[in-house]
A and B are shown apart, each in its own frame.
Chain A
């Protein structure tokens, strides 16, 4: 299973974290610090797998962002690389040429997409189209709810 997902940029700032196994707040920050250190110091030609505390960490760099996922010893690392790529493609599809700023200002949306992709540390859906559809549907629900709320608000104001 995937234990956690961390996104950070070249300066070490964390853009997104998702934890699928239990780590306390203190442990989380410690882990983040350690891993960012290790990953940022690896050269470009080295392989994308790092052994860490008995677990494997698979990381991939996309432009200025490092996507890392920590998996068990018996998981398939190459597959995890594919999962990371899957996620990035989803983000790209959703945000239309995603960049780091998108992720900063719309972090909640990034989380929603991740939630449709992974659950309980396992892959949920392999079809990008389906994921896109689901997220779009939920977004439209939010939109409708907001519209209704603002309509109601207008009505109330008019009534007063």
Chain B
């Protein structure tokens, strides 16, 4: 039959032949034909190997196994192991046959049964037949014993509870002379130690010496042709023994002592020109690394590894790299010595070796060697192939981020990486770069010039373009006027129109994606204010995108256009330099911590002029707004701007479409007032914690900058922010003189905030019978000539207060005090009487 199948030329033909055969076999099964059953099964197995379904043959296997003839049993068991797997229920039916066969007088039949059991038994079968296997561990025939030992391994793996039963017989096996039994016995002991701590203790005490002696015997034994492989007697036994010794010696100083001699002997005497020898050395090194410390041995081990590393055979080098990774935890110094070789391996032609070497280099880097190593890696980045580039880039970036000694080096390296492999760089990485750039204020000029140069050469790297566009937008004037030149730079002359050129290029390139184009638009807006001479031209460019199919771009271009045209006066204020983004927060945020805090130093406000009610002001803040939300531009705002800037959490916060709003400063004061429960406390001393987050109006007050405005997401009541800064602010706060609070039951209404654009008034009351709760009615009045739409007020409170916001009476605030919106808040102080709600 096999010949027939092989003679088929096409797959269809083959399928036909197979189908015929299957039909014949099925017919034979139905007829219960005894003679040819085993041949049919053999055919079935072949067909199975070709990949065809053969379920109908499973019962046949059982019948064959049940027969009393050896050949049939043999084929039956083979079929069983091939066609069935552990999870099938049919397997249970075999249990009985197995039991009988395990008690058979013919050792080969016993062997067959053990084999089948060892390969595919399930947990229940294991439990049933474990006693039999245990008995067989002491059978007279060594072959059966060794099979029983391996079978026991499987049983222990399936049912770890049974491990105890096997401890004693296993120990007995260790004293065998027959290599086969010894190997399997050792393996059984190793598995027992892994499965049960008791076993580990037992073996450690009783058997360590015996094992050491056995290993000595094997290592010193004369030439035995039966077991010889490549000049070493039974390397498999060597390796198994070493493994067991490793398990026994790990964590235990006494056992380790016993092993030291033999390990040294094996490590030095074994020849390493053949694979078998190397395998033994590898195992030996691994054992040395895992057991308790012995300086001399460790040195020996690392030397061996060093030798491996310079071996020409790829396998050996791979194995050595693997080992070195584990060795680093133990002895980093020694591994450093081999740094050069490892670096070579990063450039190897073999992908597995490259990967290993890269991981190892990553572990090796510390502050002292970061510069040269990074240089090497970046050099290699240029020549590496595509699949590897992704990995390599990610590693390099994290290295640079972790170990950079100074900012300028960081920026340099990142620029290089971006120019080479910008497309592989993840978003967080270039966000981080921008944060760093903005923090390194003295390097702004240098950075923007370097970016400009880089952009000339490698304009296809997306991330590079984005970072460059942002920087040019921010620091364009520095670029043109060559501000802040460092000594190492060559002077370059860039005119304003050059700068605009390059951004235009970024927009027009068809390969730029949405984010880049959006960022370019903003950069152009910034430039239009910084370079008034190019204003016309910039306006033209922006206008071209008015009809863009993508909503985001269209919206931005229309809004920016209108800013340029109609709001010349505020434009410069709108696009003033962004305040420094705080790194600590950013890193913390990136690490997944609560996104709500904005640290105090990062001024929450932009120095934007007062009273700008125009919703379009908001997108400015939205400089890095990568969330590309569909909410109208005003979505971002002062309070959130950091978030937007980094765009890291594309959180719904940015979707809050309120336009301005009150800067919380006002409410800070207000909250003072809420410390109504407590005896008179000077308002200024109790820093108000409740802040309305968000949409922060462009208050002119400089002190606002110091306000830490936690941006609470969607009105969650959380403000982990330290209250302390508030206190200072209050003092410095100009427009809202703190009002002394009343102790009495009359709570005056407070003007929480007033500016040219908006007034917020809070009226307090306490619902009767519930002293813990304070009810505040907030009234918002629009004092500016334009209408605020989508006005949303949000508030945040410290943890011991609970806040409940009722929906506002309306969302639109008509102009010039014509009407007002009211909104109710309820604050509950759960620690009433203990902590004032400040």
Chain A residues proximal to chain B, CB less than 8 Å: 14-20, 22-25, 29, 45-51, 76-79, 81-83, 85-86, 104-105, 107-108, 111-112, 115, 119-130, 134, 137-138, 141-142, 145-146, 149
- What is the interface residue range for chain B against chain A? 35 or more
Contact A145 B71 (CB under 8 A): yes
**B279–A78 contact, CB under 8 A?**
yes
Quick one: closest A residue to B356, CB to CB? Answer: A51
Beyond A81-B279, A82-B276, A126-B183, list 16 extra A-B contacts (CB 8 Å): A14-B51, A17-B49, A18-B119, A47-B353, A48-B315, A49-B318, A83-B236, A119-B119, A119-B147, A120-B150, A126-B237, A127-B179, A127-B234, A130-B143, A145-B69, A146-B71
Q: Is the CB of B275 within 8 A of A81?
A: yes
Taken together as a complex, chains A and B put the C-alpha atoms of A19 and B74 apart, in Å, by 18
Given the interface pairs A46-B314, A82-B279, the reply to whether A134 lies near B143 with Cβ below 8 Å is yes
CA distance A77 to B319 in the complex (A): 8
Q: How far is the CA of A10 from the CA of B49 in the complex (A)?
A: 17
Q: Residues of A contacting B146 with CB < 8 Å?
A: 124-125
B319 & A78 in contact (Cβ 8 Å cutoff): yes
Q: How far is the CB of B239 from chain A (nearest CB, A)?
A: 5
Interface pair B119/A120, CB less than 8 Å apart: yes
- In the complex, the answer to whether A124 meets B279 with C-beta atoms within 8 Å is no
Q: How far is the CA of A17 from the CA of B51 in the complex (A)?
A: 11
**Which residues of chain B have C-beta atoms less than 8 A from A24's C-beta?**
85, 87
Please, could you name 19 A-B residue pairs with CB atoms under 8 Å apart, sorted by A? A14-B51, A18-B81, A45-B314, A46-B349, A46-B351, A47-B350, A51-B352, A119-B118, A120-B119, A120-B150, A123-B236, A124-B146, A124-B150, A124-B180, A127-B179, A127-B227, A130-B180, A142-B70, A142-B71
- Per-residue 0/1 for B462-503: is the Cβ within 8 Å of any A Cβ (1 yes, 0 no)? 000000000000000000000000000000000000000000
Within 8 Å CB of A120, what residues of B? 118-119, 150-151, 153-154, 157
Pairwise interchain contact B74-A138, C-beta atoms closer than 8 A: yes
**Bound CA–CA A10/B90 (angstroms):** 36
Query: A122 vs B74: C-alpha distance in the bound complex, in angstroms?
Result: 21
The answer on a CB contact under 8 Å between B349 and A45 is yes
Question: Could you tell me if B315 and A47 are in contact, using CB atoms closer than 8 angstroms?
Answer: yes
Residue ID in chain B nearest A138 by CB atoms:
B108
Q: A128–B224 Cα gap in the complex (Å)?
A: 12
Nearest B residue to A105 via CB reads: B2
Instruction: List A contacts of B355 (CB < 8 A).
Output: 51
> Are A79 and B279 closer than 8 Å at their CB atoms?
yes
- Contact of B317 (CB < 8 Å), options: A47, A81, A111: A47
B74 touches A112 (CB 8 A): yes
* B278 contacts A by Cβ under 8 Å: yes
Are A104 and B6 neighbours in the complex by a CB distance under 8 Å?
yes
Smallest CB–CB gap between A9 and chain B, Å? 13
B599 at the interface (CB under 8 A from A): no
Q: Given A76, A105, A108, which contacts B75 in the complex, CB threshold below 8 Å?
A: A108
Best-buried of A48, A78, A104 by chain B (most CB within 10 Å): A78
Q: A80 — nearest CB in chain B belongs to which residue?
A: B279
Contact B351 A29 (CB under 8 A): no
Q: CA separation between A127 and B85, bound complex, in Å?
A: 29
Q: How far is the CA of A122 from the CA of B733 in the complex (A)?
A: 78
Chain B residues contacting A104 (CB-CB under 8 Å) are: 2, 6
The smallest beta-carbon distance between A50 and chain B, in angstroms, is 7
Please give, as numbers and ranges, the residues of chain B lying within 8 Å of A126 by CB-CB distance. 179-180, 183, 227, 234, 236-237
A146 to chain B, nearest CB (A): 7
CB <8 Å contact, A22 and B85: yes
Inter-chain contact B236/A46, CB cutoff 8 Å: no
User: What are the 10 A-B residue pairs with the smallest beta carbon separation, nearest first?
Assistant: A78-B279, A47-B314, A120-B154, A119-B150, A125-B180, A120-B118, A142-B71, A126-B236, A46-B350, A79-B279
B283 interface residue, CB < 8 Å from A? Answer: yes
Which B242-288 residues have C-beta < 8 A from chain A?
243, 275-276, 278-279, 282-283, 286
Q: Specify which chain A residues have a CB less than 8 angstroms from the CB of B147 in the assembled complex.
A: 119, 124
A104 vs B5: C-alpha distance when bound (angstroms) = 11
0 or 1 for each of B175-202: is its CB under 8 Å from A? (1 = yes):
0000110011001000000000000000
Chain B contacts for A76, CB-based, 8 A: 239, 243, 279, 282-283, 286
Q: Does B207 belong to the interface (CB within 8 Å)?
A: no
The verdict on B710 contacting chain A, using a C-beta distance below 8 Å, is no
Give CA–CA (A23, B114) in the complex, Å: 21
**For residue A46, which residue of chain B has the nearest CB?**
B350
B78 within 8 A of A: yes
* Contact, CB under 8 Å: A82 / B282: no
CB distance from B650 to the nearest CB of A (A): 32
Closest CB of chain A to B173's CB: distance in Å? 13
Chain A CB within 8 A of B115 CB? yes
Complex contacts, A48 vs chain B, CB 8 Å = 314-315
**CB nearest to A111 among chain B residues:** B78
Q: Which residues of A contact B171 (CB under 8 A)?
A: none
| Chain A hits for B318, CB < 8 A | 47, 49, 77
A85 vs B239: C-alpha distance when bound (angstroms): 16
The minimal Cβ–Cβ distance linking A119 to chain B, given in whole angstroms, is 4
CA distance A125 to B227 in the complex (A): 10
Complex contacts, B45 vs chain A, CB 8 Å: 107-108
A50 in contact with B352 (CB, 8 Å)? yes
Please tell me which one of the listed residues A16, A29, A142, A149 contacts residue B74 in the complex, with CB atoms under 8 A apart.
A142
In the assembled complex, the Cα of A46 lies from the Cα of B70 at a distance in Å of: 45
**Chain A residues near B276 (CB-CB < 8 A):** 82
In angstroms, Cα B349 to Cα A129, docked, is 40
Are A129 and B352 interface neighbours, CB within 8 A? no
Q: Is B229 an interface residue (CB 8 A)?
A: yes
A59 and B45 alpha carbons, distance in the complex (Å) = 24
The answer for the CA separation of A79 and B183 in the assembled complex, in Å, is: 14
Closest residue to B281 on the A side, CB-wise?
A: A78
A77 near B315: Cβ-Cβ < 8 Å:
yes
Cβ of B235 under 8 Å from chain A: yes
- When chains A and B are docked, how far (Å) is the Cα of A137 from the Cα of B353? 45
CB neighbours of A79 from chain B (8 A): 235-236, 239, 279, 283
Shortest C-beta distance, A49 to chain B (Å), equals: 6
Q: Kindly state the separation between the CA atoms of A141 and B69 in the bound complex, as whole angstroms.
A: 10
Q: Which residues of A contact B317 (CB under 8 A)?
A: 47
- Does B46 lie at the interface of the complex (its beta carbon under 8 Å from any beta carbon of A)? yes
**Complex: chain A residue closest to B282, CB-CB:** A78
Closest B residue to A23 using CB positions: B85
Residue of B nearest to A77 (CB): B319
Residue of A nearest to B236 (CB): A126
Known contacts A46-B352, A81-B275, A145-B69: does B78 contact A108 (CB below 8 Å)? Answer: yes
User: Bound state CA distance, A112 and B70, in angstroms?
Assistant: 14
Contacts of B71 in A (CB 8 A): 141-142, 145-146
Q: CA A76 – CA B239 in complex, angstroms?
A: 9
Do A19 and B85 form a contact, CB below 8 Å, given A79-B283, A127-B180? Answer: yes
Q: Bound complex: CA of A51 vs CA of B318, how far in Å?
A: 11
- Rounded to whole angstroms, the CA-CA distance of A121 and B187 in the bound complex is 11
When chains A and B are docked, how far (Å) is the Cα of A87 from the Cα of B806?
78
Cβ of B363 within 8 Å of any chain A Cβ, yes or no, is no
Instruction: State in angstroms the CA–CA spacing of A22 and B69 once bound together.
Output: 30
**CB under 8 Å from chain A, chain B span 43-79:** 45-46, 49, 51, 69-71, 74-75, 78
Q: Which of A17, A22, A105, A120 has the most CB of B within 10 A?
A: A120
| Smallest CB separation, A100 vs chain B (Å) | 11
- The residue on A at minimum CB distance from B82 is A111
Q: How many Å lie between the Cα of A143 and that of B22 in the bound state?
A: 27
Residue B42 at the chain A interface, CB threshold 8 Å: yes
| Contact mask for chain B residues 306-335; partner A; CB cutoff 8 A; 1 contact, 0 none | 000000001111110000000000000000
| B128 vs chain A, min Cβ distance (A) | 17
Q: Give Cα distance in the complex from A83 to B235, angstroms.
A: 10
